[in-house]
Amino acid sequence: MPVSPLVEITFALSALVILLASLAVVLIKNPVRATLMLILSFLPTSLIYILLQASFVGILQILVYAGAIMMLFTFVIMMINPSPNEGDAPAGGSESAFTGLRGGLVGFLIIGLAGTMVIPMIYHAAASLPVQAVTKPHFGELSSIAALLFEDPANNPLTVSFELISFLILVGIIAALNFSRRKGGQTVDEDSISTRPTEALPIVKRQSGIEAMERK
Amino acid sequence: MIPHVFNLQNCLALSLLLVLIGSFGVFRRHSLIMILLSVEVMLNGVNLSLVAFNYFRWGTSETSHYLYMLSIGVAAVEAAVGLSMIIVLFKNFNDITRERISRLGERSA
């Protein structure tokens, strides 16, 4: 299929930026900068989605991924406030086979070997699939995806599974709330609350059930 | 003359490289937050391959776009639950490196 040279150049540049930003995510030591680099790598990804005629998916990539999920990461990183030299080996930590750059290289080699063994099979399978060029009039637009998901909802399996995602998110909300709940309804003394971010989270003291009952 | 680079093979190669970079980060990083970030890089590569297959080989329906939405729903839930677990670990241990977590609460010798 004939493609304009602008598309080729945009794809090549976006792929380059995605790879460089993802490498920076893995290699940069400062966690806040790594998160910002991941957001930077999402922007050309959405450009590639738009080249693939998936405009709604490209919008979702920016709105949901870069906007919501990465903001969650940024908030937690700023709340915990780890040291900027996170990538360094911990002081006095035990050296296992999977620490540091050596462990990274071992994992990289294992998965790289698996990938190079798998990718010819994927190419073969992709070549044996019949090429079905995009012929649908509004391919990838919101109205078309909505028609795919919600047309004839009584017999459409995609409608049911799409609604089931909301139950998955509900389960996630309940799990996150349950994790963050204080055990035994303890209250925090006003004096122990500090405005410094590293001291703002007090270490929760465990108390047995008998002690909690005696206190009542 | 500009070479023809916008095809399925190059999209799949890009997605494989993203998964490799993410796995490199999972093995290399110490902080649990950075391990979750590397998992997000891997998920990004997988989503790219889904949408590329849909465009080049299945142009009659947008089923992979729906799969992409399902995938980011799962990614959002995974990030929320994982980050709240990290906050609980930080409250209890004051440390979120995986060397500390791998001791499962025992004091170091």
Q: What CATH number should be reported for the domain holding residue A4?
A: 1.20.120.1200
Going from the C-alpha of A46 to that of each of A11, B14, B52, the distances in angstroms are: 11, 14, 12
Q: Is pLDDT larger for residue A85 or for residue A101?
A: A101
Chain B hits for A162, CB-CB cut-off 8 Å, are: 66, 69-70
A49 pLDDT more than 90: yes
Task: With cut-offs at 50, 70 and 90, classify the pLDDT of residue A92.
Answer: very low
Across the range A182-209, mean pLDDT stands at 56
Quote the domain boundaries for residue A6.
1-85
A89 pLDDT more than 50: no
Query: CB contact, 8 Å: A154 with chain B?
Result: no
Return the minimum-mean-pLDDT range out of A47-51, A85-89, B75-79.
Answer: A85-89
- CA distance from start to end of chain B: 65
Chain A hits for B11, CB-CB cut-off 8 Å, are: 48, 52
Averaged pLDDT of chain B: 86
Tell me how close the Cα of A213 comes to any Cα of chain B, in angstroms: 23
Task: With cut-offs at 50, 70 and 90, classify the pLDDT of residue A115.
Answer: confident
Q: What CATH number should be reported for the domain holding residue B82?
A: 1.10.287.3510
Q: Does the beta-carbon distance from A131 to B56 stay under 8 Å? A: yes
- Summarised one tens digit per residue, pLDDT across range A123-173 is 777 777 777 777 777 888 888 888 888 888 888 889 999 999 999 999 999
**Proportion of chain B above pLDDT 70, given as a percent:** 94
A40 pLDDT more than 80: yes
Q: Does the beta-carbon distance from B73 to A168 stay under 8 Å? A: yes
Query: CB contact, 8 Å: B25 with chain A?
Result: yes
Query: CB contact, 8 Å: B82 with chain A?
Result: no
d(CA A126, CA B55) in angstroms, rounded, equals 12
Across the range A15-32, mean pLDDT stands at 92
Across the range B47-71, mean pLDDT stands at 89
Report whether B51 contacts A54 (CB < 8 A): yes
Residue B106 lies in a domain: no
In this structure, are A9 and A80 located in the same domain? yes
Residue B87 lies in a domain: yes
Across the range B55-64, mean pLDDT stands at 85
**Residue that terminates a domain, selected from A49, A66, A85:** A85
Across the range A204-208, mean pLDDT stands at 57
A71 pLDDT more than 50: yes
What's the pLDDT at A207? 55
Residues 6+ apart with CB under 8 A from A61: A42, A45, A46, A49, B72
Residue B52 lies in a domain: yes
What's the pLDDT at A157? 86
Residue B59 lies in a domain: yes
In this structure, are A6 and A81 located in the same domain? yes
Residues 178-207 of A with CB under 8 A from B: 179-180, 201-204
In DSSP terms, B31 is beta-bridged to B97
User: Which residue is closest to A17 within chain B, CA to CA?
Assistant: B14
Query: CB contact, 8 Å: A134 with chain B?
Result: yes
Return the minimum-mean-pLDDT range out of A83-97, A116-130, B58-72.
Answer: A83-97
- How many domains in chain A? 2
Q: Does the beta-carbon distance from A80 to B97 stay under 8 Å? A: no
B105 pLDDT more than 80: no
Query: CB contact, 8 Å: A129 with chain B?
Result: yes
- How many domains in chain B? 1
A103 pLDDT more than 70: no
Query: CB contact, 8 Å: B21 with chain A?
Result: yes
Residue B3 lies in a domain: no
Across the range A200-205, mean pLDDT stands at 58
Task: Tell me the ipTM for this assembly.
Answer: 0.90
Q: Is pLDDT larger for residue B28 or for residue B41?
A: B41
Residue A37 lies in a domain: yes
Q: Which class for A191: exposed (0-12), middle (13-18), buried (19 or more C-beta within 10 A)? A: exposed
Quote the domain boundaries for residue B50.
8-101
Query: CB contact, 8 Å: B98 with chain A?
Result: no
Structure tokens at A170: 């509900």
Query: CB contact, 8 Å: A103 with chain B?
Result: yes
Residue B67 lies in a domain: yes
**Residue that terminates a domain, selected from A52, A67, A85:** A85
**Residue that terminates a domain, selected from A85, A104, A133:** A85
In this structure, are A80 and A1 located in the same domain? yes
A191 pLDDT more than 60: no
What's the pLDDT at B15? 92
Query: CB contact, 8 Å: A25 with chain B?
Result: yes
Interface test with B, best of A111, A119, A171, A180 (most B CBs within 10 A): A111
Structure tokens at B65: 């776009």
Report whether B46 contacts B17 (CB < 8 A): no
